[in-house]
Amino acid sequence: MKLLRTTSIAAGLLFLAACVTINIYFPAAEAREAAEQIVEDILGEELKPMTPAGDDQSMLLTPEENRYTINLLDLLIPPAEAAAQPKFDVNTPAVRKLEASMKKRHGALKGFYQKGAIGFTQDGLVGVRQLSAVSLKERGQLQNLVKAENADRNQLYKEIARANGHPEWEKDVRTVFAKTWVSKAQKSWWYQNTKGDWVQK
């Protein structure tokens, strides 16, 4: 009976260790910083100084909570492994190629943003808001540009998640970029709010 109980406890600890090891958190802060750099480069904005850390202080553990957390992790997995943090990597050939393609295309899209014909969608893409804002001659060009842009954006989010070894992060990456496109958009450009309604910045 004692052996059975000991085996059960050991199995439980192994299960918890597996959960801790597998469930690596999505590094939202690092993702936001990377998204800002990419979006600013594509939209032609000058890189702004990094915002000092401190906005997320509410997420920090108290010293007492931190000590108990560390002690628990030490029981489950080696301290070095517990301390390891994922590095959010966007510096890959595929990401750079997509970024360059989107930056080059932005020159043609910018005028359509300014006319209100297109805007940023809530899922991190570009949507046609008002086709009548452009001439009949320009409409075919606009639709082709939007199609190409969205293909690159979808591939970008997928590639960033893949480059970091977590394809399941694609949705999180997309969410971060969707917010970043809007925050970096010029005044008077259009975007979709969380309800899907078009709003002018």
List pLDDT tens digits, range 96-111: 999 999 999 999 999 9
Say how far apart CA 88 and CA 69 lie, in whole Å.
Answer: 24
Residue 33 burial class via C-beta count within 10 angstroms: exposed 0-12, middle 13-18, buried 19 and up: middle
DSSP secondary structure string, 114-163? HHTSEEE-TTSSEEES-GGGS-HHHHHHHHHHHHHHHHHHHHHHHHHHHH
> Is it the case that residue 117 has pLDDT exceeding 80?
yes
User: Which range (40-44, 87-91, 143-147, 166-170) has the least confidence?
Assistant: 87-91
pTM above 0.75, yes or no: no
* Between residues 40 and 52, the one the model is more confident about: 40
* Cα R_g (the chain), whole angstroms: 22
Other CB atoms within 10 Å distance of the CB of residue 156: 24
